[in-house]
Structures are given as structure tokens and as C-alpha cells.
Structure 1
């Protein structure tokens, strides 16, 4: 769990998850999601400490899962595929559960969220895989 591959991959995943997430939801799609929000439950001022902590824990979990999933085969392609499955789970699996049980966004918002999460987690997975590849023990 706390291996020389997992810790740097977790850190890299955290950086990408935090910065790309902030760019996507804080800037690029803010107006879009404002138009698809049914009930605004967002804080006026986000608590960045807890957002960062959540991203750090999430990146560590993703990196740990990737390390088990990859079975020693590390490439951007493998990592992106891993991330796609995570994005499908979080974006569409959890998103449609939220749509079915709450009134936060309309269906268009959840579909867009699902697509964004597939791409986001694909990128995060690729970064994690590349760090695993760079830090893996080389066999002679």
C-alpha cells in the first residue's frame, strides 16, 4: 500500500485531480451546470482544505486500486482504461443513482457529468500508470 510506486503515483494523481477538477468545475463548466441545477446546494465559498483532502484520499485509493488491477503492466493506455471504468462507475453509476433519488440536477446535467468524469478519471488513471511505470523496479 505504501510502496515506492504507489506514493508518488498518489501524489501525481492528487495534483491532476485537484487542478483539473478545479479547472473543469470551477471555470470551464460552471455556467453550463448553473443552467442544469435544480436546487443549488453548493457553498458560497468552497472549503478548499476538505476538497484537497478528499482529492488526496481519492487519488490514494485510485492509485492503490490501479496497482492491484494492473498486475505489473503499466502504460498510459492501461491507466486510461482503468480510469474510464472508474469514471463510468462514478459518473454514470452514481450519477444516475443521484438523479433517481434527488433533485440536484436535471438529466442533461448528469449525462454531461458522466462524460466529464469518464474523461477526467481516464486522464488521472493514465498519469497514475505512467508514474507506476517510471518508478517500477526494473528487472534485469
Structure 2
């Protein structure tokens, strides 16, 4: 669980999650989500320290799960597939429950969020797989 591959994948994935998340949700899609927001529950100034901590925790969990899921066979495609499944769980599973129980966004906002989650976590999964592939013990 605390292997060199896992810790390095966690570190790199944390950094990518933080900056890619900012690029996607903090810059590229702000106007779109503003248009599809029903109730704005966003803080005026987000707590970047807590966001970084959350990314670290999520990256460690994703990396640990990936290592068990991959069973020693690492590729970008397999990592993207792993991450995309996580993104579907988050985006579609939790997203549709949020739509059914809260008035945060309209359905279009939730569907776009789900697609973004699938791609975002797919990229994170591919990065984790790449780190595992490059740090795997040579046989």
C-alpha cells in the first residue's frame, strides 16, 4: 500500500488533479455551469488547502484501488478505463442522486458534469497507470 509506485502515483495524480480541476471547473466551464446553476452554493473564495488535501486523499485511494485492479498489468488505456469507471460512479451515480435530491443544477448541468467527471478521472487513471508502468519492478 505504501510502495514507491503508489506514493509516486499519488503525488503526481494529486498535482494533476489540482491543476486540471482548476483548468476545467475554475476556468473553462465556469460560464456554462453558472447558466445551469439553480442554487449557487459556492464559496466566494474556495479553501485551496482543503482542495489540495482532498485531492491527495482521493489520489491515494485511486492509486491504491488501481494497483489492486490492474494486477500488475499497466497501460495508459487500462488506466483510463479504470479512471473512467470511477468518473461514471462519481458523475452519474452521485450526480444523478444529487439531481434527485437537491436543487443545485438542472439536468443538463448534471449530464455535462458526469461527462467531465468521466474524462477527468480517466485522465487521472491514465497518469496513475503510467507511473505504475514506469516504476514497475523489471523482471
Give the TM-score category using the shorter length. over 0.9
* Correspondence for 1:21: 21
* CA RMSD after TM alignment: 0.4
* Correspondence for 2:113: 113
* Correspondence for 1:59: 59
| Correspondence 1:97-108 to 2 at 5 A | 97-108=97-108
| Distance across 1 between alignment mates of 2:27 and 2:4 | 34
1:5 is paired with a residue of what secondary structure? helix
| Correspondence 1:79-98 to 2 at 5 A | 79-98=79-98
- Cα deviation for residue 133 of structure 1 reads 0.5
| Distance across 2 between alignment mates of 1:58 and 1:69 | 16
| Distance across 1 between alignment mates of 2:12 and 2:79 | 13
Output one character per residue of 1:92-125: Cα deviation in whole Å (capped at 9) or x when no partner: 1100000000000100000000000000000000
Structure 1 length-normalised TM:
0.98
- Cα deviation for residue 134 of structure 1 reads 0.5
* Correspondence for 2:78: 78
Question: Please, which runs of 5 or more residues in structure 1 have no aligned partner?
Answer: none
* Correspondence for 1:3: 3
Runs of 4+ in 1 over 3 A off after TM superposition: none
| Distance across 1 between alignment mates of 2:11 and 2:136 | 16
| Distance across 1 between alignment mates of 2:84 and 2:26 | 22
